[in-house]
Structure 1
Amino acid sequence: MSNEEPDVKTLSFEQAMKALEEVVGQLEHGDVALDRSIALYERGAALKARCASLLKEAEERVEKITLGADGSVQGTAPVDGT
């Protein structure tokens, strides 16, 4: 892994998905040294967890959207409940 790779915790969902696809592609290609494969697998696991977390947050935000009687959006509540 290079030092130029961004921290997984700072990636948007789209960035994390793209990075995960790249990791999977490298692992599927099969010509990566064992140490590099392990590092890629670890990064892939972190990227998967980041994507899952961001999806969960998005689902919670969608669930908090309230609709008025006419079907218009009345507002949303923050994910953290404040």
Structure 2
Amino acid sequence: MSKMEETMAKQTFEESLQELEAIVKQLEQGDVPLEEALAAFKKGITLSKQCQETLTKAEDALTKIMQENGEAVVFEEEEK
């Protein structure tokens, strides 16, 4: 695991999401040198995957809890 991945693995979901939002904002401004933009994009993709995995685990946990309590469970997936 790279140092960047180790650092990101220690982040909370909220910290990862906040960092991802900052990267998106920086890239949308368009004044980032190409090499920095590529590195930021790569980190953003990693953060996005990490956030999605965390959300999926949370959804699975909620589904399990709700099913144990006999409640109906319907999660609608957002369109991408």
Map 1:1-82 onto structure 2 (within 5 A): 7-65=7-65, 66-67=68-69
Root mean square deviation of aligned Cα: 2.2
**In the alignment, which residue of structure 1 is the partner of 2:78?**
none
Q: Distance in 2 between matches of 1:42 and 1:53?
A: 17
Gap regions ≥5 residues in structure 1: 72-82
Task: Name the one with the larger strand percent.
Answer: 1
Total equivalences in the alignment: 66
Task: Name the one with the larger helix percent.
Answer: 2
Q: Distance in 2 between matches of 1:56 and 1:20?
A: 18
TM-score if structure 1 supplies the norm length? 0.72
Deviation at 1:11, TM superposition (A): 1.5
